[in-house]
Chains A and B, each alone.
Chain A
Amino acid sequence: MAIAFPAPRVDVLAKRDRVIAALKAIVPGEGVITEEKERRAFETDALTSYRRLPMVVVLPETTEQVAAILAFCHAEGVPVVARGAGTSLCGGSIPQEDAVVLGVAKMNRVLDVNFADRTMRVEAGITNLAISGEVAHAGFFYAPDPSSQLACTIAGNVAMNSGGAHCLKYGVTANNILGLKLVTVEGEIVEIGGGALDSPGYDLIGLLVGSEGQLGVVTEVTVRILRQAEGARPVLFGFREIAQAGQTVSDIIGAGIIPVAIEYMDREAIHICEAFAKAGYPLDVEAMLIIEVEGSDAEMEAMLVRIVDIARRHDVAVVKESKSAMETAAIWKGRKSAFGATGRVADYICMDGTIPTGRLPDVLEGIDRIVKGYGLRVANVFHAGDGNLHPLVMFNVNDPAEQVKAEHAGEDILRLCVQLGGCLTGEHGVGIEKRDLMREQFTEVDLLQQTRIKTALDPKWILNPAKVFPLDAPRDEAPREAA
């Protein structure tokens, strides 16, 4: 196991009975989970190679209960790990043995839909897809679309600033949130923003989105909802050379066209996904792009003519325009099932680095070199429009040595991303997975500025401990307030 967990605090473990009694007084009925068998369901998330059995799990149903839980845990110095659906790929919601897991899954109601203002207020435990589902009948949707959208909650999306394939046009979570109800670690309920596009004071929404549960627990979210385009159509392009695919992406953007999505898959990913989804992907190419455009038929046609023309200039080998809803679904099924399909072939770790898109050929060559150096295989899936890559490093989970190699390969890939001008994570978050790599991207002073905010809003560091910041990250004393 490469990632260290801090030793559970004996003084906290000793309080277990008191903690359970207090939580039961706050959340009546079956909202407090104490049996080991049932706590097992909360010991890991989608980073399944790491797990820790939490001390107790509590599933509140109201913001007031969340506030009471946090006030108690803060007073007692008990760590709290907030959890949505547990789909984090970076171990963002993996607990420790001395932690209370605070799951918001029961808080999943729609509180308000306002089509005139194009906003919707929901509880934090609602799934991403359910938000869009609530307004689909009126032709609206919530834009950020992580691949896990069927399961993941808006709480987790807010924590991780989640993105997805269509973020090229619509932005990520941070660009689509107007208001939050936050419970501070002391148990105070704070309303931030709401129905207006701007909110007063410092941009706390911007700070909280992506803060990975370090600064408070969000219980309600006001999201922007958008009107669906009249239609959407993907086109699939196959290229015999990687560089041609990269150049096509650059030239499309250079020509002033922003498609709603540009997805890239390498040969390995194409083969794996085609075997699973039978999407009609070309098997004799080195690289594939799925480019989706939106609008009326006339608009899409006009845009596609330009895009196809650019691809032809770069010697595209295969052009396959979707002609029906079924073909569209098949094309996306192949891409969206990349993680699942790879899981059928091998165990894998899914990396999430971002690079400047102009460095695409460099990074692919580098990834190939790194992974081969460890004697492993990799499939590459990218959001090519924004440079967010997902190399799936494959290994055999029954071979512990191979797993260590895979983890090292993953770390080397992320280091390469930073060296090329990119970053450690584009949409999955830091969690425990990339915590110890933070110094690749940040200086001690950079980290200190972040930990000062952490200390200011969570003086005892009890919120989602051992995530995001290296365990030995620099910390100041609690800052005093400015005069």
Chain B
Amino acid sequence: MTLHIPSSPAELAAVVAAARSTGTPLAVAGGGTRAGLGRPVQAAATISTERLSGITLYEPAELVIAAKAGTPLREVTEALAAKGQRLPFEPMDHRRLYGTSGEPTVGGVASANVSGPARINLGAARDSMIGLKFVNGLGQDVKSGGRVMKNVTGLDLVKALAGSFGTLAVFHEVCFKVLPKAEGERTLAMTGLSVPQAVAALSAALGSPFEPTGAAHWPASGGETARTLIRIEGFAAPLAYRTDALSKLLAPFGAVETLEADASAGLWADIRDAAAFAGTDAAVWRISVPPSAAPALADRLAPLEPRLMLDWGGGLVWAGVAATGDAGAGRVHAAAKAAGGYATLVRAPETVRGAVDVFSPAAGPLMAIQRKMKASFDPDGVLNPGRMYPGV
């Protein structure tokens, strides 16, 4: 296995161009902490963004930061924290789930569109991505977007590439819009709710004017009581007011307990990283559905005896199932589809991921557009072939 570690965009472009001319598929790697995400890639060589590192622009008063793709995410979050700011989309750290070491990178977060609990009101990574520089499968160095928040000049390739898992281009620089770090946070917690009750409670909170930035539910499991959690953030006065108002709003669903900053932060880091499944050998599915469909989805998954965790007010269902056979793929995809959503197999042995649909299969015309997209960026199928779908 050849490893290419270019140290400039020009070198990156040369590596891709050479691979194209020799028909050598390339696996694209950032920090390698999420290598288990997606279908296994058969590639003769790997291209690493490791040496494309460093923050290239940070203007706190303009709420914008740009960094080269191989920059450890930690460098960015630390630079932001020093100025009281943060990435709004709260990217999940997959190391806990996979037991991987190494450093998650800016490029990895962008290419997998990695988001966390705040996605419900602050958006996903793609919503914060405003500029991208990348090398496409033709070995051309291309830019889209820029460093300003509002930009509708030409086609928005930034969003088209967010979450493309390195199958369309190798990113070498990403620009994000950022937000001030909240002055404080609190979590309102209820215990003992069923999934339907919890989704109703979370939905009521999210439909309130109090702007929760987290809304999750852990169903009862093994002796543990079910917990329903709502996070609010902000300055001291609004926090106090919103805590009171939301507690009143939620009173019909049960008693509400308030968790202060530290306990709250730890809790949401666990939810963000799907920590409930860390250290287990379950196959882990991530299922995105309309929140009100979550209870029916849970019922349909019941024969798999899953361990469930709900985020995004029920709109994101994590399911841990036995990693044997097809890891429940047939049932999970059918249940997700019936619920009006889709499923991704986030963790499973490579043999399973190579044999089942890791991402929900797209309908005919939709799949045709995906293939056209792939052909527009990477006509010879050089980059991460098959990572998302066979042939894509």
In the complex, are the beta carbons of B342 and A199 less than 8 A apart? yes
Known A-B contacts A203-B159, A256-B180, A302-B237; A118 and B152 likewise in contact (beta carbons under 8 Å): no
Residues of A225-277 contacting chain B, CB below 8 A: 227-230, 250-251, 253-258
Whole-angstrom distance from the CB of A71 to the nearest CB of chain B? 13
Q: How far is the CA of A244 from the CA of B97 in the complex (A)?
A: 50
Contact among B84, B207, B289, B367 with A118 in the assembled complex (CB-CB below 8 Å): B207
Check if B379 is an interface residue, CB within 8 A of chain A.
yes
Q: Is the CB of A386 closer than 8 A to any CB of chain B?
A: yes
Which residues of chain B from 101 to 149 have any CB-CB distance to chain A below 8 Å in the complex?
113, 119-120, 123-124, 126-127, 136, 140-144, 146-149
Cα A468 to Cα B153 in complex, Å, equals 8
Task: Report if B392 contacts A (CB, 8 A).
Answer: yes
Contacts of A387 in B (CB 8 A): 62, 148-150
For window 178-236 of A, CB contacts with B under 8 Å fall at 184, 188-192, 194-207, 209-211, 214-215, 227-230
**B148, B159, B200, B344: which contacts A386 (Cβ < 8 A)?**
B148
- Of the stretches B161-169, B253-261, B324-332, the one at the interface is B161-169
B388 touches A427 (CB 8 A): no
B99 within 8 A of A: no
B contact residues around A195 at 8 Å (CB): 289-290, 293, 340-341
Minimum Cβ distance to chain B for residue A186 (Å):
9
Contact with B along A423-457 (1 / 0, CB 8 A): 11111111000100010011101111110111111
Smallest Cβ distance from B153 to chain A, in angstroms?
5
The chain A residue with its CB closest to the CB of B84 is: A256
Q: Please, which residues of chain B bring their CB within 8 A of the CB of A257?
A: 180
In-complex Cβ contact of B375 among A199, A256, A480 (8 A) = A480
Per a CB cutoff under 8 Å, which of A175, A254, A356 touches B60?
A254
Binds B, one of A32-40, A44-52, A293-301, A403-411: A293-301
Task: Judge if A108 is at the interface, Cβ distance under 8 Å.
Answer: no
Interface residue B348 (Cβ < 8 Å from any Cβ of A):
no
Q: Which of B348-392 contact A (CB under 8 A)?
A: 359-360, 362-363, 365-381, 385, 388-389, 391-392
- CA A354 to CA B143, docked complex, whole Å: 17
Residues of chain A within 8 A (CB-CB) of B288 are: 196-199
> Is A14 positioned at the interface, with any CB of B under 8 Å from its CB?
no
> Which of A299, A429, A442 gathers most chain B CB within 10 Å?
A299
* Chain B residues within an 8 Å CB radius of A446: 142-144
Contact B207 A456 (CB under 8 A): no
Residue B78 at the chain A interface, CB threshold 8 Å: no
Specify which chain B residues have a CB less than 8 angstroms from the CB of A450 in the assembled complex: 154-155, 157
A291 within 8 A of B: no
A161 CA / B367 CA spacing, docked (Å)? 24
Question: Counting CB contacts under 8 A, is A10 at the interface?
Answer: no
A383 vs B151: C-alpha distance in the bound complex, in angstroms? 13
Q: Contacts A196-B341, A196-B342 known; A354 to B113 CB distance under 8 Å?
A: no
Q: Is residue A463 contacting chain B, with contact meaning CB distance below 8 A?
A: no
Cα–Cα distance between A196 and B313 once the two chains are bound (Å): 11
Task: Indicate if the CB atoms of B238 and A114 lie closer than 8 Å.
Answer: no
Report Cα–Cα, A430/B316, bound state, in Å. Answer: 36
| Nearest CB in chain B: distance from A444 CB, A | 10
Q: How far is the CA of A184 from the CA of B312 in the complex (A)?
A: 32
Kindly specify which of A54-62, A147-155, A166-174 makes contact with the partner chain. A166-174
Any B CB within 8 A of the CB of A127: no
Once A114-B290, A230-B209, A257-B180 are accepted as A-B contacts, the answer to whether A175 and B123 lie under 8 Å apart by CB is yes
Q: How far is the CA of A256 from the CA of B61 in the complex (A)?
A: 9
Rounded to whole angstroms, the CA-CA distance of A255 and B203 in the bound complex is: 32
- Name, among B150, B160, B245, B381, the residue most crowded by chain A CB atoms within 10 Å (CB to CB): B150
Pick the residue among B123, B152, B316, B367 that contacts A425 (CB under 8 A): B152
Looking across the interface, which residue of chain B has its beta carbon closest to that of A231?
B209
Known contacts A191-B366, A449-B142; is A254 also within 8 Å of B61 by CB?
Answer: yes
Cβ contact within 8 Å between B146 and A421: yes
| A110 in contact (CB, < 8 A) | no
Is there contact, CB below 8 Å, between B147 and A421? yes
Q: A197-B316, A479-B376 are known contacts. Are A202 and B164 too (CB-CB below 8 A)? A: yes
Q: Name B342's closest neighbour in chain A (CB-CB).
A: A200
CB distance from B116 to the nearest CB of A (A): 12
Contact digits for B15-26, partner A, Cβ 8 Å, 1 yes 0 no: 000000000000
Smallest distance from the beta carbon of B320 to chain A beta carbons, Å?
Answer: 20
A171 CA to B368 CA, complexed, in Å: 30
Q: Contacts A421-B148, A422-B146, A427-B150 known; A358 to B61 CB distance under 8 Å?
A: yes
Within 8 A of B (CB), among A369-391: 383, 386-388
Which of these, B150, B291, B342, contacts A163 with CB under 8 Å? B150
| Shortest distance from the beta carbon of A259 to any chain B beta carbon, whole Å | 12
Shortest distance in angstroms between A215's beta carbon and chain B's nearest beta carbon?
8
B113 touches A203 (CB 8 A): yes
Which residues does chain B contribute within 8 Å of A386, judged by CB atoms?
148-150
Q: Which of B119, B153, B291 contacts A117 (CB 8 A)?
A: B291
Pair A442/B359 contact, Cβ less than 8 Å = no
Within 8 A of A (CB), among B44-66: 59-64
Taking CB atoms, residues of chain B closer than 8 Å to A204 are: 160, 366, 369, 373
User: Counting CB contacts under 8 A, is B179 at the interface?
Assistant: yes
Would you call B373 and A456 a contact (CB within 8 A)?
Answer: yes
A41 to B148, CA, bound (A): 36
From known contacts A207-B159, A430-B154, infer whether A250 and B61 are also in contact, taking CB-CB under 8 Å.
Answer: yes
Determine which of B63, B158, B208, B375 lies in contact with A482 in the assembled complex, contact meaning CB atoms within 8 Å: B375
Known A210-B155, A356-B148: A445·B316 in contact at CB below 8 Å:
no
B180 near A449 (CB under 8 angstroms)? no
In the assembled complex, the CB of A94 is this many whole angstroms from the nearest CB of chain B, namely 17
State how many angstroms separate the Cβ of B13 from the closest Cβ of chain A: 10
Residues of A within 8 A of B290 (CB): 114, 117, 119, 194-196
For this complex, 17 residue pairs linking A to B, each with C-beta atoms less than 8 Å apart, are A117-B203, A174-B159, A175-B123, A190-B366, A195-B340, A197-B119, A197-B288, A198-B124, A200-B359, A200-B362, A201-B370, A299-B234, A424-B153, A428-B152, A453-B155, A456-B375, A481-B371
